[in-house]
Chain A
């Protein structure tokens, strides 16, 4: 068995036994939800409803209902796309990369983080689909299907097409990874349930019986999937950054983008995991499973990735100056001191300064401070994408065509639509799915529980 140093803090507190894990997690699926759950669900459905109306107007009237103009042809749509994809990265990082590194603290947060990944990628997918104007045609044209124009194939030289493959692969592989982890837990729920829910969870559990042979195969599958998902998650945001980096626009044409985008993605993803987990932990009374130690470790990752992002911002500025290219220099001068200085300043404050507070142990282990900073980080990361996209476009090569971008209510509504979608999915998940990976947590109860220490 795995033995762990005594100096390590226990990962599950409260003297929980293996049976307690089953009870504590299954009860949330079995009991009727609390009033606060209904309230939260109602709010997210309201957001979804309002957003759906905005999306309807968008599709009916066309992309002209967004605030885009001839100069700024990309704004909130791709900002939100990159933001949501970035948020999704934490789930895979926690479940795949931390699995390869044998970090056992991942076990009580990976389920919810992976769920968040899947919902965030669904939200991200809305933007490339909707921005095509007629999504039902665009979705087909983005695929390499034979057609009556020749066949005129999709362009495999285009990073936008690489995105189609990267995002869809990422979504489906994450979904499979998540589902594989859920199967043993569905079996636990099945064996406690009766009637219809026994049938439903029984079908979802795929006839899982817990045989050692199956567990052995399951562990191989999990390990290989983690090995596949790790380069996959790094490739996804790399390819997203190629959307910009392979262009010739000053401010976009930067070789630093791939690693910088990946670090930023993990940064914002962990922040979103913390925002959601702090609330879930409180409402579901999971303090013994998601301990202060977990929160503190996640905060350290936020601090590290936030610092990487900070170094990237400063490197960009330095290279723009050092390159001696006037267009590049102006793009960065305009970014920091032009009409969008406030967005740049927000980005710098939220992303570079706020995570540095986590050097203090008091702040790192404070729930309230973590919650606030996690939201600040995600505001900052939204501004980062906005700054990169809009400030690089709005003053283009011809001063006569310089313009500003002003969002319309449809821009805002489309963004709200994805929020509604995300939270509706997440609350449904919190009710109908085991929010903590029971089987994995059970496997560490003995080795890292309090009794051993």
Chain B
């Protein structure tokens, strides 16, 4: 039981503005929040939760660069090295012609690489069995989950902190 991730207290919120204030207040009170679940993206929630900006855009850039390299290598390799076109006695590298395909492959690899990375780091996969803290999360409720085993405060204190911060309901949730 001491490793956590099993016993949670959930604060259920209705309104995203109340939620944002509540997160700040609860964190100030010394409660460690496990995660906040929302039916839609709440702007500014990363800041109050202290999350760093996602680095997925860097992944996109690297995959894009890979696409550029791949496309140019392929085209130059095929049209200038493997089967050179002799124009005016010289083998010819028609670089402007290569721009469209290079651009498309850059975009293709950047998009697929980034989305693939997103799926991997967020553990999104068709056979995933998500832990649903509250069935209403995907409908209209925001849920703040606090891991009891990872907090030094008592259950009663955490519950009080949550309802003081404006939670509509405070529930217990256990996973086995």
Contact = CB atoms under 8 A, between A and B. Distances in A.
A36 interface: no
B88 interface: no
Q: Is the interface on chain B under 10, 10 to 19, 20 to 34, or 35 or more residues?
A: 35 or more
Q: Is the interface on chain A under 10, 10 to 19, 20 to 34, or 35 or more residues?
A: 35 or more
Contacts of B42: 212, 215, 443
A190 B138 contact: yes
A220 B57 contact: yes
Interface string B52-77: 01101100100000000000001100
A162 B101 contact: yes
A203 B39 contact: no
Interface string B33-54: 0011111111111100101011
Contacts of B131: 209
Interface stretch (A172-180, A355-363, A414-422): A172-180
A183 interface: yes
A443 B121 contact: no
A232 B133 CA distance: 39
Contacts of B112: 172-173, 176
Question: Is chain A's interface secondary structure helix, strand, loop, or mixed overall?
Answer: helix
Nearest to B96: A157
B145 to A, nearest CB: 9
A225 B64 CA distance: 12
Contacts of A220: 53-54, 56-57
Contacts of B101: 156, 161-162, 165
Contacts, number: 196
A169 B104 CA distance: 6
A229 B46 CA distance: 25
B118 to A, nearest CB: 5
Contacts of A228: 60, 107, 110-111
Interface string B7-43: 0000000011100100000000000000111111111
Interface of B: 15-17, 20, 35-46, 49, 51, 53-54, 56-57, 60, 74-75, 78-79, 82-83, 94, 97-98, 100-101, 103-105, 107-108, 110-112, 114-115, 118-119, 121-133, 135, 137-140
Interface of A: 1-2, 17-19, 22, 144, 150-157, 159, 161-162, 165-166, 169, 172-173, 176-177, 180, 183-184, 187-188, 190-192, 203-204, 206-221, 223-225, 228-229, 231-232, 235, 239, 242, 439-440, 442-443, 446
Given A209-B37, A213-B35, 16 more contacts: A18-B39, A22-B39, A166-B104, A169-B105, A176-B115, A183-B124, A203-B126, A207-B123, A208-B138, A212-B45, A212-B51, A213-B51, A217-B118, A221-B56, A228-B110, A231-B107
